[in-house]
Each structure stands twice: as C-alpha cells, then as structure tokens.
Structure 1
C-alpha cells in the first residue's frame, strides 16, 4: 500500500513526552516565587505548546510586562531541576522506530526552547530518530505556521503529505494554518471535545491506538 505521508511531525510535551503535570507544577511554583496567585491546573495546562513568554502571559495575565522574563527564569529553574523525573509515554520508542523503518521523515515542532528540547532528546536518547526539529525560540511559536512551513521546506514535503500530531488545540491550529492534516491525542494537555472541533483524521486516546492507525494509514 503506498504511503500517504512523507513527513510526520510530532509535538513534544504531552504527545511524546509525559510532562504535562510537571509543566503545570513548575508554572505554579514560578508564580509563587514572585508572590503571585498560582494559575489553576486547567489554565496552566491550556498554554502547553505555546512559546514560554506567550504561555506565561496567558496563564498569569495582568502582570507588568517587564516581569514576565523574571517569571520565565523561575519557571526554567523549576523545570530543569525536575525534568529527569518524567519520560516518554509507554510505546513511543517503538512507534518512532516503526515509522523510521517505513522511511518516513520524522520531526518535532514544539513550544519548548532549543535548550529544553535538546536536553530532553539527550535524556531519552532519541535525537537520532528525528530528521528535523523546530523550537519556539528559533522560529515563531504555535499556532503560527512558520515552524511547520520551515520543516516542509527542509524536506521538500507538500502540505497534503505532511502530518502533524499533537495534544493541544495550538497544535491542531498550527496544522490548519499550514494546510496540513492532523491527528489529536487526548492523553496530554487538552480535552477531547476541544480537539475534536478541529476535525482531525484521528483522535487517539493512547499510544497503541496512534501506532495502529499510523502503521495502517500513514
């Protein structure tokens, strides 16, 4: 059966990496450090996938703009101190290896910083599985389509042959803005109902379901 997609692009946090709870906890801790009322779990989780400063501005609105970089520093302090506590979702390494064996190009498009992604890839020893990566601090953050458009140009992939996979509405809007089909996963940051509204090709509730669909339809 001919392959439908040449390039498969994954979000990182909440899609491949089980880090949603850690991100929420670190955002709340950063707010406490600055004497601010911490955001709720729902508000903090909603921003996962955005660039850090944009995420903090949403999670903690009304703060003097000059203080967001300081808040970002405190977030990074807590995150990098605890990043070793989380890992890939069960089944992710096998899924990626299966897709590589089928000769898909694999990439990551993430709201993380370059440092954050590189350290995460090194920690789980997965860097060699990805052909390309883009982070929010080296291009535009989601849902701006720039990072996905750059990856498509890098590999000469057409939008209809590029698949975006993510756990947030930001990921799905990114795909829509770039003219690409998408898959939503519900085991990360955003709820099923908000994801389904984007009409993804699949709403996967776990990694085995995602793997089965990709190996059959991608």
Structure 2
C-alpha cells in the first residue's frame, strides 16, 4: 500500500523522545549560578532547548563577557553528566519506533545534542538500532537552519517533500519549514503548545500515544 504522505520520519531527542526538559533547565540555571551570572528563569532556559549547546547558552544567558561561555558550557556539562543516566524515555517511545520500523519507514534523529551526548543517550536507552541515521548540532548548522534535514535526506536517498520532522520546539518546526519538510509538534516538551501551533504544524500531539496514533492514521 502506498504511503499517505511520508517515507522518512525524523525525531528531535530532548523533550520529544526523552523526558529531559526539566533536567536541562536546571542544569542551565546551575551553570549560571556556579559562575555568579544572571540565572535565566524557566521560560528563558526552556526556550533555548534544541539549539546547539553554545548557541543555547548564549541565548539563555545573554549580555555577559564572551570569555564566560566556554566556562558556562563546562559547568553545564558537569551538572548534566551527573544526571543524564537517570533520564528516561517518554512512555510508549520504543513501541512506537518499533511499529514505525516494521511499517517500513526510514527513521532518524536531528538534535541539538553533541555527538558524544547523543551516542550516550542512544546506548543507555538501547535505541541505536532503531534509527537509520542521526545528526547532531556539533556536526553541522544548528536548528532552525535546514542543514540537518537536508543532510539526512541526502544520506538516506530520501525526498524532503516526503520527510516529516517531529519536535517539541519552534526550532524544530521552523527547521522543517526552512527545509520544505512536514512538521509535527509535541506539546509535552520545552515550548508551549500555542507557540508550536503558531507555526501551523500538521498536528500537535498531547502524548506519545497520541503521536503514534496520528502517525498510523496520517503519515
């Protein structure tokens, strides 16, 4: 049976597959606190999730001497690496990915994480074999630049017009728009639903179960 709309489904990681938003926010705030810098509130720290780490920290903690940013990155990593082993996937993620693989979709990850960080996460969750390709922010341009989706489609011989990007931030949805791909938002991550809906995604899912059902019915 012919696909409805898509052959290739690309997922963001943090806040989309892994329940890590609150941990990332706390680690950004702790890094600023360690260095005596202005501590971003939850909204500001959440907004930058999905960007590459240096870009994210510059946006969350702006207007400080540039010499601080490498130190902020170091402190963020110190806090995050002490907690990432305790992070968990959202309920239903492995079953959804297994079902999509069985249906013959190509699957990938496009994330603001570093390659080292994503590999740690894929190994700890046992999801490495579910994905045909992955792309990280330290390997190419950060979201919302379209490069991640462009590179993934070229790598796997896919068509951007039949590619779907799924993520919890406006950075993910804007990347999809910039690349000419479809976009679906998830409402349980970093950005509020109203911000996601303002970019007119094909759908906004309230849970992994909701997302899985929508994909089965529409993708």
Q: TM range, normalised to the smaller chain? A: over 0.9
1:11-160 pair list within 5 angstroms: 11-160=12-161
Runs of 4+ in structure 1 over 2 Å off = none
Q: How many angstroms does 1:156 deviate by?
A: 1.4
Deviations along 1:4-47, one digit per CA (max 9) or x if unpaired, are 21110000000000000000000001001111121100000000
**Counterpart for residue 166 of structure 1:** 167
SS of the equivalent of 2:165 reads strand
* 1:182 aligned counterpart, secondary structure: strand
Distance 1:143 1:128 in 2: 26
What SS is found at the alignment partner of 2:67? helix
Q: TM-score of the superposition, structure 2-length normalised?
A: 0.98
Q: Give 5+ residue unaligned stretches, structure 2.
A: none
**How many Å apart are 1:160 and its aligned residue?**
1.4
The 1-side partners of 2:171 and 2:127 are apart by: 24
Write the distance in 1 (CA, Å) between the matches of 2:20 and 2:172. Answer: 16
Report the TM-score when normalising by structure 1. Answer: 0.98
- Asked whether 1:2 is paired with 2:2, we answer yes
What whole-Å deviation, never above 9, does each CA across 1:86-134 have from its counterpart, x for those lacking one?
1100001100000000010100000000011000001101000000000
Determine the C-alpha separation between the residues in 2 that align with 1:198 and 1:155: 27
